[in-house]
Structure 1
Amino acid sequence: MATLSSEAQLRRLISNRLPAVNTAGCHFRPVQGLTGESWLIEGAGIRLLARQQMPDKYVLGVSRRREARVLKRCGAGLGPQVLLQTSAWLIVEWLTGDNISEAAFRALIENGELAALIAELHHRPLSGYRLNLQQQLARYWQRIDRRRMTPAWLSWQHTFMRSVPPQPLKLAPLHMDIHRGNLLLQGERLRLIDWEYAADGDIALELAALFRFNQFSSATQHNFLRHYAQHGYSDCGQLAAQVQRWLPWVDYLMLMWFEVRWQQSGDREFLRWSAALYQRFCLSSCCSQ
Protein backbone atom coordinates (compact mmCIF):
# COMPACT_ATOMS: atom_id res chain seq x y z
CA MET A 1 0.00 0.00 0.00
CA ALA A 2 2.85 2.41 0.83
CA THR A 3 4.37 1.76 -2.61
CA LEU A 4 1.08 2.52 -4.37
CA SER A 5 0.62 5.66 -2.29
CA SER A 6 4.11 6.91 -3.18
CA GLU A 7 3.52 6.26 -6.87
CA ALA A 8 0.22 8.14 -6.81
CA GLN A 9 1.86 11.01 -4.93
CA LEU A 10 4.65 11.17 -7.47
CA ARG A 11 2.26 11.16 -10.42
CA ARG A 12 0.29 14.06 -8.92
CA LEU A 13 3.46 15.99 -8.14
CA ILE A 14 4.88 15.62 -11.65
CA SER A 15 1.55 16.46 -13.25
CA ASN A 16 1.25 19.65 -11.17
CA ARG A 17 4.86 20.82 -11.11
CA LEU A 18 6.38 19.35 -14.30
CA PRO A 19 3.51 19.60 -16.79
CA ALA A 20 5.90 19.15 -19.73
CA VAL A 21 6.52 15.58 -18.52
CA ASN A 22 3.69 13.31 -19.65
CA THR A 23 3.48 10.42 -17.16
CA ALA A 24 0.49 8.73 -18.82
CA GLY A 25 2.58 5.96 -20.35
CA CYS A 26 5.35 5.96 -17.76
CA HIS A 27 6.35 3.05 -15.56
CA PHE A 28 7.23 3.79 -11.93
CA ARG A 29 9.63 1.30 -10.38
CA PRO A 30 11.17 1.38 -6.87
CA VAL A 31 14.96 1.33 -6.85
CA GLN A 32 16.48 -0.03 -3.66
CA GLY A 33 19.77 1.40 -2.36
CA LEU A 34 21.77 1.30 0.86
CA THR A 35 19.77 4.06 2.51
CA GLY A 36 16.29 3.34 1.23
CA GLU A 37 13.91 3.66 -1.63
CA SER A 38 14.04 5.81 -4.74
CA TRP A 39 11.94 5.59 -7.91
CA LEU A 40 12.91 5.16 -11.54
CA ILE A 41 10.35 6.79 -13.85
CA GLU A 42 10.53 5.56 -17.44
CA GLY A 43 8.49 6.42 -20.51
CA ALA A 44 8.82 7.59 -24.09
CA GLY A 45 11.90 9.82 -24.01
CA ILE A 46 11.70 10.02 -20.21
CA ARG A 47 14.07 8.64 -17.59
CA LEU A 48 13.90 10.30 -14.19
CA LEU A 49 14.97 9.43 -10.67
CA ALA A 50 12.74 10.49 -7.76
CA ARG A 51 14.29 10.46 -4.29
CA GLN A 52 12.05 10.80 -1.26
CA GLN A 53 12.88 12.52 2.01
CA MET A 54 12.24 9.85 4.66
CA PRO A 55 12.68 10.01 8.46
CA ASP A 56 15.25 7.20 8.39
CA LYS A 57 17.25 9.09 5.78
CA TYR A 58 17.16 12.28 7.87
CA VAL A 59 18.64 10.34 10.79
CA LEU A 60 21.50 9.27 8.51
CA GLY A 61 22.18 12.89 7.59
CA VAL A 62 20.36 12.97 4.26
CA SER A 63 18.60 16.18 3.23
CA ARG A 64 17.00 16.35 -0.20
CA ARG A 65 16.97 20.14 0.04
CA ARG A 66 20.73 20.18 0.61
CA GLU A 67 21.30 17.56 -2.09
CA ALA A 68 19.39 19.69 -4.61
CA ARG A 69 21.30 22.83 -3.64
CA VAL A 70 24.70 21.14 -3.97
CA LEU A 71 23.77 19.65 -7.36
CA LYS A 72 22.49 22.98 -8.68
CA ARG A 73 25.48 25.03 -7.50
CA CYS A 74 28.30 22.51 -7.78
CA GLY A 75 27.24 19.50 -9.85
CA ALA A 76 26.80 20.77 -13.42
CA GLY A 77 28.46 18.29 -15.75
CA LEU A 78 29.48 16.08 -12.83
CA GLY A 79 26.13 14.91 -11.48
CA PRO A 80 22.50 14.72 -12.61
CA GLN A 81 20.42 17.77 -13.42
CA VAL A 82 17.81 18.74 -10.81
CA LEU A 83 14.31 19.00 -12.29
CA LEU A 84 12.22 19.48 -9.15
CA GLN A 85 12.71 19.68 -5.39
CA THR A 86 9.99 19.88 -2.74
CA SER A 87 9.94 19.20 1.00
CA ALA A 88 9.20 15.54 0.29
CA TRP A 89 10.82 14.76 -3.08
CA LEU A 90 13.85 15.42 -5.24
CA ILE A 91 13.50 14.58 -8.93
CA VAL A 92 16.63 14.48 -11.09
CA GLU A 93 17.56 13.15 -14.50
CA TRP A 94 18.46 9.47 -14.60
CA LEU A 95 22.08 9.41 -15.72
CA THR A 96 22.92 6.70 -18.22
CA GLY A 97 26.37 5.27 -18.72
CA ASP A 98 28.57 2.28 -18.14
CA ASN A 99 29.01 0.91 -14.65
CA ILE A 100 32.58 0.85 -13.36
CA SER A 101 34.09 -2.58 -12.81
CA GLU A 102 36.60 -3.25 -10.04
CA ALA A 103 39.42 -3.38 -12.60
CA ALA A 104 38.25 -0.13 -14.22
CA PHE A 105 38.03 1.55 -10.81
CA ARG A 106 41.62 0.56 -10.02
CA ALA A 107 42.70 1.95 -13.40
CA LEU A 108 40.93 5.28 -12.72
CA ILE A 109 42.84 5.52 -9.45
CA GLU A 110 46.20 4.57 -10.92
CA ASN A 111 46.03 6.83 -13.99
CA GLY A 112 44.81 9.88 -12.07
CA GLU A 113 41.36 10.22 -13.68
CA LEU A 114 39.54 9.81 -10.37
CA ALA A 115 41.82 12.37 -8.73
CA ALA A 116 41.12 14.81 -11.58
CA LEU A 117 37.35 14.32 -11.19
CA ILE A 118 37.44 14.96 -7.44
CA ALA A 119 39.74 17.97 -7.88
CA GLU A 120 37.27 19.39 -10.41
CA LEU A 121 34.47 19.12 -7.84
CA HIS A 122 36.70 20.76 -5.23
CA HIS A 123 37.19 23.76 -7.53
CA ARG A 124 33.43 24.40 -7.75
CA PRO A 125 31.77 27.20 -5.69
CA LEU A 126 30.56 26.36 -2.19
CA SER A 127 26.97 25.20 -1.79
CA GLY A 128 26.32 27.11 1.44
CA TYR A 129 25.67 23.91 3.43
CA ARG A 130 28.60 23.28 5.80
CA LEU A 131 29.11 19.68 6.93
CA ASN A 132 28.95 19.38 10.74
CA LEU A 133 30.35 15.99 11.76
CA GLN A 134 29.77 16.48 15.48
CA GLN A 135 26.12 17.32 14.91
CA GLN A 136 25.79 14.17 12.84
CA LEU A 137 27.57 12.05 15.46
CA ALA A 138 25.21 13.40 18.12
CA ARG A 139 22.23 12.44 15.96
CA TYR A 140 23.62 8.94 15.42
CA TRP A 141 24.25 8.58 19.16
CA GLN A 142 20.54 8.95 19.85
CA ARG A 143 19.71 6.04 17.52
CA ILE A 144 22.20 3.30 18.40
CA ASP A 145 21.38 0.22 20.50
CA ARG A 146 22.19 1.08 24.12
CA ARG A 147 22.58 -2.63 24.91
CA ARG A 148 25.72 -2.63 22.75
CA MET A 149 27.27 0.31 24.59
CA THR A 150 30.59 -0.17 26.41
CA PRO A 151 32.59 2.18 28.68
CA ALA A 152 35.22 2.45 25.94
CA TRP A 153 32.61 3.46 23.39
CA LEU A 154 31.17 6.07 25.75
CA SER A 155 34.68 7.46 26.16
CA TRP A 156 35.16 7.66 22.38
CA GLN A 157 31.89 9.54 21.98
CA HIS A 158 32.84 12.04 24.66
CA THR A 159 36.26 12.51 23.06
CA PHE A 160 34.88 13.27 19.61
CA MET A 161 32.16 15.56 20.94
CA ARG A 162 34.68 17.55 23.01
CA SER A 163 37.43 17.65 20.40
CA VAL A 164 37.91 20.43 17.86
CA PRO A 165 37.86 19.01 14.30
CA PRO A 166 40.92 19.71 12.14
CA GLN A 167 41.08 23.26 10.78
CA PRO A 168 40.28 22.99 7.03
CA LEU A 169 43.10 23.34 4.55
CA LYS A 170 40.56 24.36 1.91
CA LEU A 171 36.78 24.46 2.03
CA ALA A 172 35.06 22.99 -1.02
CA PRO A 173 31.92 21.09 -2.01
CA LEU A 174 32.36 17.42 -1.08
CA HIS A 175 30.52 14.36 -2.39
CA MET A 176 31.40 12.19 0.65
CA ASP A 177 30.33 8.86 -0.86
CA ILE A 178 32.73 8.19 -3.71
CA HIS A 179 33.11 4.54 -4.68
CA ARG A 180 32.82 2.67 -7.95
CA GLY A 181 29.08 2.12 -7.48
CA ASN A 182 28.54 5.88 -7.58
CA LEU A 183 30.56 6.41 -10.76
CA LEU A 184 29.35 6.16 -14.35
CA LEU A 185 31.31 6.42 -17.57
CA GLN A 186 29.59 8.38 -20.36
CA GLY A 187 31.88 7.99 -23.34
CA GLU A 188 35.11 9.56 -22.10
CA ARG A 189 33.39 11.48 -19.28
CA LEU A 190 33.15 10.31 -15.66
CA ARG A 191 29.94 11.24 -13.83
CA LEU A 192 29.06 11.06 -10.13
CA ILE A 193 25.67 9.90 -8.85
CA ASP A 194 24.09 9.64 -5.37
CA TRP A 195 24.90 13.06 -3.88
CA GLU A 196 22.78 12.63 -0.76
CA TYR A 197 25.69 13.16 1.67
CA ALA A 198 27.24 16.04 -0.28
CA ALA A 199 28.02 19.28 1.59
CA ASP A 200 30.82 21.82 2.05
CA GLY A 201 33.88 20.75 4.01
CA ASP A 202 37.62 20.24 4.05
CA ILE A 203 39.05 18.66 0.92
CA ALA A 204 41.18 16.38 3.13
CA LEU A 205 38.03 15.02 4.77
CA GLU A 206 36.74 13.92 1.35
CA LEU A 207 40.04 12.20 0.62
CA ALA A 208 40.17 10.54 4.05
CA ALA A 209 36.65 9.18 3.43
CA LEU A 210 37.63 8.03 -0.06
CA PHE A 211 40.70 6.21 1.25
CA ARG A 212 38.83 4.50 4.10
CA PHE A 213 35.65 3.61 2.19
CA ASN A 214 37.65 2.02 -0.60
CA GLN A 215 40.44 0.56 1.57
CA PHE A 216 43.31 2.28 -0.23
CA SER A 217 46.75 0.95 0.66
CA SER A 218 49.45 3.42 1.73
CA ALA A 219 51.02 3.18 -1.72
CA THR A 220 47.68 3.81 -3.43
CA GLN A 221 47.04 6.82 -1.19
CA HIS A 222 50.44 8.28 -2.03
CA ASN A 223 49.88 7.77 -5.77
CA PHE A 224 46.40 9.31 -5.57
CA LEU A 225 47.64 12.40 -3.70
CA ARG A 226 50.40 12.87 -6.28
CA HIS A 227 47.79 12.93 -9.06
CA TYR A 228 45.42 15.14 -7.05
CA ALA A 229 48.19 17.70 -6.46
CA GLN A 230 48.45 18.21 -10.23
CA HIS A 231 44.86 19.54 -10.27
CA GLY A 232 44.02 20.57 -6.70
CA TYR A 233 45.94 21.32 -3.50
CA SER A 234 49.60 21.30 -4.53
CA ASP A 235 51.32 20.64 -1.17
CA CYS A 236 51.22 16.83 -1.04
CA GLY A 237 52.94 16.58 2.32
CA GLN A 238 50.58 18.99 4.04
CA LEU A 239 47.56 17.34 2.44
CA ALA A 240 48.72 13.84 3.43
CA ALA A 241 49.18 14.98 7.04
CA GLN A 242 45.70 16.54 7.07
CA VAL A 243 44.17 13.34 5.70
CA GLN A 244 45.75 11.47 8.62
CA ARG A 245 44.16 13.91 11.07
CA TRP A 246 40.73 13.24 9.58
CA LEU A 247 40.99 9.43 9.47
CA PRO A 248 39.86 8.83 13.09
CA TRP A 249 36.84 11.06 12.48
CA VAL A 250 35.96 9.11 9.34
CA ASP A 251 36.39 5.78 11.14
CA TYR A 252 34.11 6.87 13.97
CA LEU A 253 31.53 8.28 11.57
CA MET A 254 31.49 4.96 9.70
CA LEU A 255 31.19 2.99 12.96
CA MET A 256 28.17 5.04 14.03
CA TRP A 257 26.60 4.92 10.55
CA PHE A 258 26.81 1.12 10.49
CA GLU A 259 25.23 0.93 13.94
CA VAL A 260 22.32 3.15 12.92
CA ARG A 261 21.82 1.15 9.72
CA TRP A 262 21.77 -2.04 11.80
CA GLN A 263 19.01 -0.52 13.92
CA GLN A 264 17.06 0.56 10.87
CA SER A 265 17.43 -2.56 8.74
CA GLY A 266 18.19 -5.51 11.03
CA ASP A 267 20.82 -6.54 8.48
CA ARG A 268 23.62 -8.22 10.44
CA GLU A 269 26.14 -7.35 7.72
CA PHE A 270 26.20 -3.85 9.18
CA LEU A 271 27.17 -5.34 12.54
CA ARG A 272 30.07 -7.17 10.93
CA TRP A 273 31.40 -3.93 9.43
CA SER A 274 30.82 -2.11 12.71
CA ALA A 275 32.73 -4.78 14.65
CA ALA A 276 35.83 -4.31 12.48
CA LEU A 277 35.86 -0.58 13.19
CA TYR A 278 35.18 -1.15 16.89
CA GLN A 279 38.26 -3.37 17.06
CA ARG A 280 40.32 -0.72 15.27
CA PHE A 281 39.40 1.80 17.97
CA CYS A 282 40.14 -0.72 20.72
CA LEU A 283 43.59 -1.38 19.27
CA SER A 284 44.23 2.33 18.84
CA SER A 285 43.27 2.95 22.47
CA CYS A 286 45.58 0.16 23.68
CA CYS A 287 48.50 1.46 21.61
CA SER A 288 48.05 5.00 22.95
CA GLN A 289 48.25 3.87 26.58
Structure 2
Amino acid sequence: MTSVSWQQAKLLEPSLSALDGFFALPPVRAHALTGGLTNRCWRLVSSDGLEYVWRPTSQICEAFAISRHEEYQVLTAISPLNLGPKAVFVDEQGLLVEWLTGYTPTHSDINIDQILAVAAEIHGYPLTSLTLGTFSYLAKVDHYWYGLNGEFSGTEFEALYRKWRSEPHIDSIPLALCHFDLGSYNLVCGDNEIKVIDWEYAAIADPRLDLALVLQLADVSIEQGVIQYCQARQIEEVTLWLDGVLAWIPRTRMMAMLWYLLAYKLWGDEQYLHSADEFKDLLCMEDHCFENR
Protein backbone atom coordinates (compact mmCIF):
# COMPACT_ATOMS: atom_id res chain seq x y z
CA MET A 1 0.00 0.00 0.00
CA THR A 2 1.32 3.47 -0.90
CA SER A 3 1.65 6.21 1.69
CA VAL A 4 -1.48 8.11 2.64
CA SER A 5 -2.13 11.28 4.59
CA TRP A 6 -2.69 11.19 8.33
CA GLN A 7 -6.38 11.95 7.94
CA GLN A 8 -6.79 9.19 5.34
CA ALA A 9 -4.90 6.76 7.58
CA LYS A 10 -7.23 7.49 10.49
CA LEU A 11 -10.23 6.79 8.29
CA LEU A 12 -8.72 3.43 7.35
CA GLU A 13 -7.58 2.63 10.89
CA PRO A 14 -9.63 4.60 13.47
CA SER A 15 -7.39 3.50 16.36
CA LEU A 16 -4.69 5.83 15.03
CA SER A 17 -6.70 8.72 16.50
CA ALA A 18 -5.27 7.70 19.88
CA LEU A 19 -1.98 9.24 18.71
CA ASP A 20 -3.37 12.72 18.03
CA GLY A 21 -2.22 13.83 21.46
CA PHE A 22 1.14 12.08 21.17
CA PHE A 23 2.47 13.86 18.07
CA ALA A 24 2.97 17.62 18.30
CA LEU A 25 2.39 17.75 14.55
CA PRO A 26 0.57 15.07 12.51
CA PRO A 27 2.79 12.40 10.93
CA VAL A 28 3.79 13.28 7.39
CA ARG A 29 3.44 9.75 6.04
CA ALA A 30 1.56 6.61 7.00
CA HIS A 31 1.12 3.28 5.29
CA ALA A 32 -0.22 -0.11 6.27
CA LEU A 33 2.37 -2.85 6.60
CA THR A 34 1.96 -6.10 4.75
CA GLY A 35 2.81 -9.40 6.36
CA GLY A 36 2.00 -10.54 9.84
CA LEU A 37 -1.03 -12.59 10.71
CA THR A 38 -2.57 -11.05 13.80
CA ASN A 39 -1.02 -7.60 13.68
CA ARG A 40 -2.22 -5.37 10.85
CA CYS A 41 0.20 -2.58 11.68
CA TRP A 42 1.02 0.89 10.36
CA ARG A 43 4.39 2.48 9.70
CA LEU A 44 4.40 6.19 10.57
CA VAL A 45 6.90 8.94 9.81
CA SER A 46 6.73 11.94 12.12
CA SER A 47 7.25 15.56 11.10
CA ASP A 48 10.80 15.41 12.49
CA GLY A 49 11.66 12.29 10.47
CA LEU A 50 11.36 9.67 13.23
CA GLU A 51 9.73 6.38 12.26
CA TYR A 52 7.35 4.27 14.29
CA VAL A 53 5.09 1.24 14.06
CA TRP A 54 1.52 1.40 15.36
CA ARG A 55 0.26 -1.97 16.58
CA PRO A 56 -3.50 -1.59 17.04
CA THR A 57 -5.73 -3.40 19.48
CA SER A 58 -8.53 -5.14 17.61
CA GLN A 59 -11.04 -7.96 17.75
CA ILE A 60 -8.25 -10.14 16.37
CA CYS A 61 -6.19 -9.40 19.50
CA GLU A 62 -9.11 -10.48 21.66
CA ALA A 63 -9.61 -13.66 19.63
CA PHE A 64 -5.96 -14.66 20.11
CA ALA A 65 -5.73 -13.40 23.72
CA ILE A 66 -3.18 -10.71 22.86
CA SER A 67 -2.60 -7.77 25.22
CA ARG A 68 -0.82 -4.68 23.91
CA HIS A 69 -0.29 -3.55 27.51
CA GLU A 70 1.59 -6.77 28.31
CA GLU A 71 3.57 -6.41 25.08
CA TYR A 72 4.49 -2.86 26.18
CA GLN A 73 5.55 -4.17 29.58
CA VAL A 74 7.80 -6.83 28.05
CA LEU A 75 9.46 -4.39 25.66
CA THR A 76 10.01 -1.86 28.43
CA ALA A 77 11.47 -4.50 30.77
CA ILE A 78 13.93 -5.91 28.22
CA SER A 79 15.08 -2.52 26.94
CA PRO A 80 18.52 -2.97 28.64
CA LEU A 81 19.14 -5.95 26.34
CA ASN A 82 18.74 -3.73 23.25
CA LEU A 83 17.10 -6.74 21.66
CA GLY A 84 13.70 -5.42 20.64
CA PRO A 85 12.14 -2.15 19.50
CA LYS A 86 11.66 0.63 22.03
CA ALA A 87 8.09 0.84 23.30
CA VAL A 88 7.00 4.47 23.06
CA PHE A 89 3.30 4.72 23.90
CA VAL A 90 0.40 2.44 24.80
CA ASP A 91 -3.30 2.80 25.54
CA GLU A 92 -6.46 0.80 25.00
CA GLN A 93 -6.31 1.49 21.25
CA GLY A 94 -2.85 0.07 20.64
CA LEU A 95 0.91 0.18 21.06
CA LEU A 96 3.45 2.48 19.41
CA VAL A 97 7.03 1.22 19.01
CA GLU A 98 10.07 2.49 17.20
CA TRP A 99 10.71 1.33 13.64
CA LEU A 100 13.81 -0.86 13.39
CA THR A 101 15.99 -0.25 10.38
CA GLY A 102 17.34 -3.38 8.73
CA TYR A 103 16.18 -6.39 6.78
CA THR A 104 14.28 -9.59 7.51
CA PRO A 105 16.71 -12.48 7.01
CA THR A 106 16.04 -15.61 4.99
CA HIS A 107 17.23 -19.06 6.06
CA SER A 108 20.37 -18.49 4.01
CA ASP A 109 21.07 -15.15 5.74
CA ILE A 110 21.09 -16.48 9.28
CA ASN A 111 22.19 -19.74 10.89
CA ILE A 112 20.72 -21.69 13.76
CA ASP A 113 23.57 -20.70 16.09
CA GLN A 114 22.53 -17.06 15.77
CA ILE A 115 18.86 -17.83 16.40
CA LEU A 116 19.66 -20.02 19.39
CA ALA A 117 21.91 -17.31 20.81
CA VAL A 118 18.97 -14.88 20.66
CA ALA A 119 16.65 -17.46 22.27
CA ALA A 120 19.20 -18.09 25.02
CA GLU A 121 19.49 -14.36 25.71
CA ILE A 122 15.71 -14.02 26.00
CA HIS A 123 15.38 -17.09 28.22
CA GLY A 124 18.19 -15.89 30.46
CA TYR A 125 16.54 -12.54 31.21
CA PRO A 126 15.82 -12.18 34.98
CA LEU A 127 12.13 -12.59 35.74
CA THR A 128 12.33 -10.17 38.65
CA SER A 129 11.95 -7.36 36.12
CA LEU A 130 8.61 -8.72 34.87
CA THR A 131 5.17 -8.97 36.46
CA LEU A 132 3.57 -11.07 33.73
CA GLY A 133 1.37 -13.98 34.67
CA THR A 134 2.60 -17.50 33.99
CA PHE A 135 1.65 -18.92 30.61
CA SER A 136 -1.00 -21.63 30.76
CA TYR A 137 -0.89 -24.07 27.88
CA LEU A 138 -4.28 -25.46 28.88
CA ALA A 139 -5.90 -22.01 29.00
CA LYS A 140 -4.37 -21.06 25.64
CA VAL A 141 -5.53 -24.12 23.69
CA ASP A 142 -8.95 -24.00 25.35
CA HIS A 143 -9.25 -20.33 24.38
CA TYR A 144 -8.52 -21.20 20.76
CA TRP A 145 -10.85 -24.20 20.75
CA TYR A 146 -13.81 -22.41 22.33
CA GLY A 147 -13.24 -19.50 19.97
CA LEU A 148 -14.17 -21.89 17.15
CA ASN A 149 -17.69 -22.15 18.61
CA GLY A 150 -18.04 -25.84 17.88
CA GLU A 151 -17.40 -25.44 14.16
CA PHE A 152 -15.02 -28.42 14.09
CA SER A 153 -16.69 -30.61 16.72
CA GLY A 154 -16.61 -34.31 15.95
CA THR A 155 -13.68 -34.01 13.53
CA GLU A 156 -10.07 -35.19 13.70
CA PHE A 157 -9.25 -31.66 14.79
CA GLU A 158 -11.24 -32.16 17.99
CA ALA A 159 -9.78 -35.62 18.55
CA LEU A 160 -6.24 -34.23 18.40
CA TYR A 161 -7.20 -31.29 20.62
CA ARG A 162 -8.55 -33.70 23.23
CA LYS A 163 -5.52 -35.99 22.97
CA TRP A 164 -2.85 -33.31 23.39
CA ARG A 165 -4.78 -30.89 25.62
CA SER A 166 -2.85 -31.73 28.82
CA GLU A 167 0.64 -30.53 29.66
CA PRO A 168 3.40 -33.16 29.48
CA HIS A 169 4.48 -35.00 32.60
CA ILE A 170 8.13 -33.99 32.61
CA ASP A 171 10.64 -32.86 35.22
CA SER A 172 10.24 -29.15 35.87
CA ILE A 173 12.88 -26.52 35.23
CA PRO A 174 12.92 -22.80 36.08
CA LEU A 175 10.45 -20.76 34.05
CA ALA A 176 11.74 -18.09 31.67
CA LEU A 177 10.64 -15.24 29.45
CA CYS A 178 9.63 -16.78 26.12
CA HIS A 179 8.94 -15.06 22.80
CA PHE A 180 6.74 -17.84 21.34
CA ASP A 181 7.20 -16.76 17.70
CA LEU A 182 10.96 -16.61 17.20
CA GLY A 183 11.12 -17.32 13.48
CA SER A 184 13.43 -15.58 11.03
CA TYR A 185 10.45 -13.49 9.87
CA ASN A 186 10.44 -11.79 13.28
CA LEU A 187 14.13 -10.90 13.19
CA VAL A 188 15.62 -7.66 11.91
CA CYS A 189 19.30 -7.67 10.91
CA GLY A 190 21.36 -4.52 10.66
CA ASP A 191 24.56 -2.87 11.92
CA ASN A 192 26.05 -6.25 12.89
CA GLU A 193 23.22 -7.00 15.31
CA ILE A 194 19.99 -8.96 15.39
CA LYS A 195 16.82 -7.60 16.94
CA VAL A 196 13.48 -9.27 17.55
CA ILE A 197 10.06 -7.83 16.74
CA ASP A 198 6.44 -8.89 17.36
CA TRP A 199 6.49 -9.71 21.07
CA GLU A 200 2.70 -9.99 21.28
CA TYR A 201 2.75 -13.66 22.36
CA ALA A 202 5.61 -13.28 24.85
CA ALA A 203 5.01 -14.84 28.26
CA ILE A 204 6.68 -16.51 31.22
CA ALA A 205 6.73 -20.25 30.58
CA ASP A 206 8.78 -23.44 30.32
CA PRO A 207 11.62 -22.41 27.97
CA ARG A 208 11.61 -25.92 26.46
CA LEU A 209 8.20 -25.10 25.00
CA ASP A 210 9.63 -22.01 23.34
CA LEU A 211 12.70 -23.94 22.20
CA ALA A 212 10.45 -26.58 20.62
CA LEU A 213 8.81 -23.81 18.58
CA VAL A 214 12.16 -22.22 17.65
CA LEU A 215 13.66 -25.47 16.36
CA GLN A 216 10.59 -26.37 14.33
CA LEU A 217 10.44 -22.91 12.77
CA ALA A 218 14.14 -23.19 11.89
CA ASP A 219 13.54 -26.70 10.46
CA VAL A 220 16.66 -28.19 12.04
CA SER A 221 17.48 -31.40 13.89
CA ILE A 222 15.74 -31.31 17.25
CA GLU A 223 18.47 -33.23 19.07
CA GLN A 224 21.33 -31.22 17.59
CA GLY A 225 19.46 -27.98 18.18
CA VAL A 226 18.92 -28.78 21.85
CA ILE A 227 22.61 -29.67 22.23
CA GLN A 228 23.67 -26.37 20.63
CA TYR A 229 21.24 -24.41 22.78
CA CYS A 230 22.48 -26.07 25.97
CA GLN A 231 26.06 -25.29 24.95
CA ALA A 232 25.11 -21.64 24.44
CA ARG A 233 23.64 -21.46 27.96
CA GLN A 234 26.24 -23.78 29.53
CA ILE A 235 23.53 -26.25 30.55
CA GLU A 236 24.79 -29.70 31.46
CA GLU A 237 21.46 -31.53 31.78
CA VAL A 238 20.94 -31.95 28.01
CA THR A 239 18.73 -35.03 28.41
CA LEU A 240 16.35 -33.12 30.67
CA TRP A 241 16.00 -30.45 28.02
CA LEU A 242 15.75 -32.85 25.10
CA ASP A 243 13.05 -34.91 26.80
CA GLY A 244 11.12 -31.74 27.55
CA VAL A 245 11.38 -30.39 24.00
CA LEU A 246 10.25 -33.72 22.51
CA ALA A 247 7.31 -33.87 24.90
CA TRP A 248 6.23 -30.34 23.95
CA ILE A 249 6.52 -30.78 20.17
CA PRO A 250 3.18 -32.54 19.52
CA ARG A 251 1.48 -30.04 21.81
CA THR A 252 2.98 -27.09 19.93
CA ARG A 253 1.69 -28.65 16.71
CA MET A 254 -1.79 -29.04 18.13
CA MET A 255 -1.70 -25.45 19.40
CA ALA A 256 -0.60 -24.23 15.95
CA MET A 257 -3.36 -26.31 14.34
CA LEU A 258 -5.98 -24.57 16.49
CA TRP A 259 -4.39 -21.18 15.80
CA TYR A 260 -4.78 -21.69 12.06
CA LEU A 261 -8.33 -22.97 12.45
CA LEU A 262 -9.22 -19.83 14.40
CA ALA A 263 -7.49 -17.66 11.80
CA TYR A 264 -9.53 -19.43 9.10
CA LYS A 265 -12.75 -18.81 11.03
CA LEU A 266 -11.91 -15.12 11.44
CA TRP A 267 -10.65 -14.34 7.93
CA GLY A 268 -12.10 -17.11 5.76
CA ASP A 269 -8.78 -17.55 3.94
CA GLU A 270 -8.46 -21.14 2.71
CA GLN A 271 -4.68 -21.00 3.18
CA TYR A 272 -5.20 -20.99 6.94
CA LEU A 273 -7.36 -24.09 6.73
CA HIS A 274 -4.70 -25.72 4.56
CA SER A 275 -2.06 -24.95 7.21
CA ALA A 276 -4.30 -26.39 9.94
CA ASP A 277 -4.70 -29.54 7.84
CA GLU A 278 -0.93 -29.81 7.49
CA PHE A 279 -0.48 -29.77 11.26
CA LYS A 280 -3.32 -32.25 11.68
CA ASP A 281 -1.79 -34.60 9.14
CA LEU A 282 1.64 -34.23 10.75
CA LEU A 283 0.22 -35.16 14.15
CA CYS A 284 -1.71 -38.10 12.73
CA MET A 285 1.33 -39.35 10.81
CA GLU A 286 3.83 -39.04 13.65
CA ASP A 287 1.50 -39.77 16.56
CA HIS A 288 3.12 -43.14 17.17
CA CYS A 289 6.47 -41.42 17.70
CA PHE A 290 5.38 -39.77 20.94
CA GLU A 291 4.02 -41.11 24.17
CA ASN A 292 1.28 -39.02 25.74
CA ARG A 293 3.34 -38.18 28.78
Normalised to the residue count of structure 2, the TM-score between the two structures is: 0.85
Q: Name the residue aligned to 1:188.
A: 192
40 and 58 in structure 1: CA distance in 2 versus 1, 3 angstrom threshold: same
Q: Name the residue aligned to 1:245.
A: 247
Find 2:87's aligned residue among 82, 86, 90.
Answer: 82
Q: Name the residue aligned to 2:138.
A: 134
Q: Aligned partners of 2:253 and 2:15: how far apart in 1?
A: 38
Q: Aligned partners of 1:240 and 1:286: how far apart in 2?
A: 18
Aligned length: 278
Instruction: Give, in angstroms, the shift of residue 71 of structure 1.
Output: 1.2
1:42 and 2:45 aligned: yes
Normalised to the residue count of structure 1, the TM-score between the two structures is: 0.86
Q: Provide the identity percentage.
A: 22
Q: Which stretch shifts more, 76-85 or 24-33? A: 24-33
Q: Which stretch shifts more, 42-51 or 165-174? A: 165-174
Q: AA paired with 1:85?
A: V
SS of 2:26's equivalent?
coil
261 and 200 in structure 1: CA distance in 2 versus 1, 3 angstrom threshold: same
Structure 2 unaligned spans of 5+? 1-6
Find 1:174's aligned residue among 169, 173, 178.
Answer: 178
Q: Aligned partners of 1:168 and 1:2: how far apart in 2?
A: 52
Structure 1 unaligned spans of 5+? none
Q: Aligned partners of 2:288 and 2:194: how far apart in 1?
A: 42
Q: Name the residue aligned to 1:4.
A: 10
Q: How does 1:215-254 map to 2 (within 5 A)?
A: 215-216=219-220, 218=221, 221-232=222-233, 233-254=235-256
Find 1:264's aligned residue among 263, 266, 280.
Answer: 266
Instruction: Give, in angstroms, the shift of residue 253 of structure 1.
Output: 0.3
1:200 and 2:204 aligned: yes
SS of 1:99's equivalent?
coil
SS of 2:232's equivalent?
coil
155 and 9 in structure 1: CA distance in 2 versus 1, 3 angstrom threshold: closer
Instruction: Give, in angstroms, the shift of residue 152 of structure 1.
Output: 4.4
